[in-house]
Amino acid sequence: MAEAIYPVPSEWAKNALIDAARYEDMYARSLEDPEGFWRGEAQRIDWIKPFSVVKQTSFHEADFGISWFTDGTLNLSANCLDRHLAERGDAVAILWEPDDPKNPERRITYRELHEAVCRFANLLKARGVKRGERVTIYLPMVPEAAVAMLACARIGAIHSIVFAGFSPDALGGRIQDCDSRIVLTSDEGLRGGKKIALKANVDEALKACPGVDTVIVLGHTGADVPMVKGRDIDWASAVSEQSAHCPPEEMNAEDPLFILYTSGSTGKPKGVLHTTGGYSVWASMTHEYVFDYRPGQIYWCAADIGWVTGHSYVVYGPLMNGATTVMFEGVPNFPDPSRFWQVVDKFQVEIFYGAPTALRALMREGDDWVKKTSRQSLRLLGSVGEPINPEAWSWYHEVVGEGRCPIVDTWWQTETGGAMITPLPGATALKPGSASKPLFGVKPMLLDNDGTVLDGSTDGCLVIADSWPGQMRTVWGDHERFFQTYFTTFPGYYFTGDGCRRDEDGYFWITGRIDDVINVSGHRMGTAEVESALVAHPAVAEAAVVGMPHEIKGQGIYAFVTCNAEIEPDEELRRDLIKWVRHEIGPIATPDVIQFTPSLPKTRSGKIMRRILRKIGENDFSNLGDTSTLADPSVVDNLIAGRPQPA
Ligand code: 6R9
């Protein structure tokens, strides 16, 4: 069947910042003359001291290093706030929509945001926070979360945001890993009408973090939460005592900006570190070009600030570009599945950027929820987090966008800082399900398992051949792990962990992770993390976790569990294990299927054969591949016979 192709609508081709010819031209120049290209693009930033060096990067072991605009200095919060004050101080920077639509929205202007950030920055300084120090943020989707991020950037502190859906254990581990002595939180969070006990979670987490001496607590729902004397302080009253004047610190381009923990194929989550200059250029450039953003437009990225998409496309990218950025506290289906589109109408949103998992969930509820809203303000739609299946793409395009709005399917990662492979609305004909073409400076290549470069239309492992400004710089506290994880599978290349197909038109189609990372509702999860949570349970001897296809979540979690000898697994244990994993990691790690098995398929050398488990997880027994190297091939038949069907 021929693939559907959606040409660039003519008004987009005419009016967009970048049309097809300009894209080709800029892309070619970005690869032929990176120095010149980036020297030009970097002018979008207000530098305090201009840089003289553009790019010093190598992916090779002998001279490995990644550094951009090295001798320049800047402050990111000044680029998001101060420089807009003269021209658009009274324009709305953050348009906040609460969880409950009956509660009032908040409109925070650039001037108000600037003042709030200065006061909070002064509070951090008053609590002794210094340049380079790590500040852990565990907040719901409220404007104060953005205030906290920008205040850290203002004084040169490194923020580490932990998604407010993570458990106390996961939070505690992240606080310890980056050695943070200050935590910002709120009494409670609110999502879909349900309260989340954030402060209680912090109290629980801090039992294992004796180094934390300050917790700043935002009153959000007004719940009465116990405060620890000397350690816990009330956000509002502490901030009111602070001056609204706080000069931005002069930061070097390569000074750390933030840490964000993300899952890999092995071990505990890695603290992905981004630095100031390159990240700023990348977040601002990609936000402007991918969304064809012009100041004054109402823009909504529905991601949580706990994920990288929230960092780059709710806060930093839009604010650098003087946008009005919508921040939504709630969930797509509360109070009903019309909520997204009601908010679009309410704020007259022009650009909407969301995740396939939410679209699939809404699609299932039927078109009426969409059709009862107007959505006439929408001009452009975006997708991120996982491959978007053509059915969901078509629904997004036809039903939500009424065939009028291009869809930018943006492929990128926590590690890349911002979008990497994506259509540009005025330049790229769309193929549903394809992230299409690389952005400026991005050189994607496909390799086979042996590292041979593949040409033409083919399937392979997706690598990036050269550095781009928004690239992560290290794993916090473990530079060797950074090199090992990303640059040794294919020496000389950045390995993304994704599989990919390139078609005859040079379009890229991401096929999903090829390492032991699964993507559940657009959230990255290392199978190893779920396994170690399971084996920490006293009844469990061994566990292996794989992804399984899931209609809404994209992938679900399938766990094979072997119990200790004296244990007789039953329904109660299954429920207990599910509760246990939710407690150890958080609700996003809830296993969809747990299959108890007396043993796992292993090679004679004792390695679990995940390939076989994946097939069983997929309910596909036709092509199990070579099972002759198994120590006991009968294990496989037993696994197939005992496969529970998910509810
Ligand atoms: C931004 C973000 C990264 C992984 C990535 C890939 C998958 C993200 C995608 C996509 C296909 C897209 N992914 N966007 N796959 N098409 N448009 O999601 O970062 O949480 O680090 O996840 O997500 O597998 O490697 P992160």
Known binding positions: 191-194, 309, 333, 385-387, 409-414, 498, 513, 521, 524, 535, 537, 540, 582
pLDDT bucket at 646, cuts 50 / 70 / 90: low
Q: What distances in angstroms separate CA 379 from CA 9, 310, 314, one per listed residue?
A: 11, 21, 18
In 308-372, alpha helices (H): 308-310, 317-320, 339-347, 356-364, 368-371
- How far is ligand 1, taken at its centre, from the CA of residue 298, in Å? 25
d(CA 87, CA 71): 29
What percent of the chain has pLDDT above 90? Answer: 89
Report which ligand 1 atom has the smallest distance to the Cα of 517: 24
Q: Is 304 in the pocket of ligand 1 (CB under 6 A)?
A: no
pLDDT bucket at 647, cuts 50 / 70 / 90: low
Report which ligand 1 atom has the smallest distance to the Cα of 496: 25
Q: Is the pLDDT of residue 192 over 80?
A: yes
- How far is ligand 1, taken at its centre, from the CA of residue 316, in Å? 19
Q: Is 497 in the pocket of ligand 1 (CB under 6 A)?
A: yes
List pLDDT tens digits, range 211-249: 999 999 999 999 999 999 999 999 999 999 999 999 999
pLDDT bucket at 544, cuts 50 / 70 / 90: very high
> What pLDDT does residue 447 have?
98
> What pLDDT does residue 603 have?
78
Q: Is 524 in the pocket of ligand 1 (CB under 6 A)?
A: yes
List pLDDT tens digits, range 132-162: 999 999 999 999 999 999 999 999 999 999 9
Q: Report which of 147, 150, 172 is spatially closest to residue 162, judged by C-alpha positions.
A: 172
Known binding positions for Mg(2+): 535, 537, 540
Report which ligand 1 atom has the smallest distance to the Cα of 307: 20
Q: Is 414 in the pocket of ligand 1 (CB under 6 A)?
A: yes
The arithmetic mean of pLDDT across residues 619-647, rounded, is 82
Q: 233, exposed or middle or buried, with CB in 10 Å at 0-12, 13-18, 19+? A: middle
CA-proximal residue: ligand 1, atom 4 (nearest): 413
- How far is ligand 1, taken at its centre, from the CA of residue 384, in Å? 7
> What pLDDT does residue 270 have?
95
Element holding 395 (H helix, E strand): helix 390-395
CA-proximal residue: ligand 1, atom 19 (nearest): 413
CA-proximal residue: ligand 1, atom 22 (nearest): 413
List pLDDT tens digits, range 411-456: 999 999 999 999 999 999 999 999 999 999 999 999 999 999 999 9
Q: Is the pLDDT of residue 478 over 90?
A: yes
Say how many C-beta atoms besides its own lie within 10 A of residue 234's C-beta. Answer: 14
| Prior bond of 335 cis (ω within 30°) | yes
> What pLDDT does residue 2 have?
55
Q: Is the pLDDT of residue 410 over 90?
A: yes
List pLDDT tens digits, range 265-319: 777 899 999 999 999 999 999 999 999 999 999 999 999 999 999 999 999 999 9
d(CA 357, CA 591): 17
Q: Is 311 in the pocket of ligand 1 (CB under 6 A)?
A: no
> What pLDDT does residue 644 have?
87
Q: What distances in angstroms separate CA 595 from CA 139, 417, 477, 541, 577, one per listed residue?
A: 35, 37, 37, 14, 11
> What pLDDT does residue 552 have?
93
pLDDT bucket at 528, cuts 50 / 70 / 90: confident
Q: What distances in angstroms separate CA 103 from CA 97, 324, 326, 419, 557, one per listed residue?
A: 9, 20, 16, 34, 36
Q: Is 384 in the pocket of ligand 1 (CB under 6 A)?
A: yes
d(CA 182, CA 179): 9
The arithmetic mean of pLDDT across residues 616-626, rounded, is 85
List pLDDT tens digits, range 3-23: 789 999 999 999 999 999 999
| Helices then strands, each counted (H, E), the chain | 22, 32
d(CA 609, CA 630): 8
List pLDDT tens digits, range 482-522: 999 999 999 999 999 999 999 999 999 999 888 889 999 98
Q: Is the pLDDT of residue 624 over 90?
A: no
List pLDDT tens digits, range 309-322: 999 999 999 999 99
* All domains of the chain in start order, with CATH: 10-78+280-302+322-511 (3.40.50.12780), 105-279+303-321 (3.40.50.12780), 521-642 (3.30.300.30)
Provide Rg for the chain, Cα atoms: 24
CB 492 within 8 A of CB 59: yes
In 207-352, alpha helices (H): 235-240, 276-290, 308-310, 317-320, 339-347
Q: Is 387 in the pocket of ligand 1 (CB under 6 A)?
A: yes
Q: For residue 605, give every residue at least 6 positions away whose Cβ sits within 8 Å of its Cβ, in sequence order, or none.
A: none
Q: Report which of 144, 88, 84 is spatially closest to residue 117, judged by C-alpha positions.
A: 144
Say how many C-beta atoms besides its own lie within 10 A of residue 617's C-beta. Answer: 26
List pLDDT tens digits, range 159-179: 999 999 999 999 999 999 999
> What pLDDT does residue 1 have?
45
Q: Report which of 413, 67, 485, 91 is spatially closest to residue 265, judged by C-alpha positions.
A: 485
Q: Average per-residue pLDDT in the chain?
A: 95
Q: Is the pLDDT of residue 98 over 80?
A: yes
CA-proximal residue: ligand 1, atom 1 (nearest): 413
Euclidean distance between the first and final Cα of the chain, in Å?
34
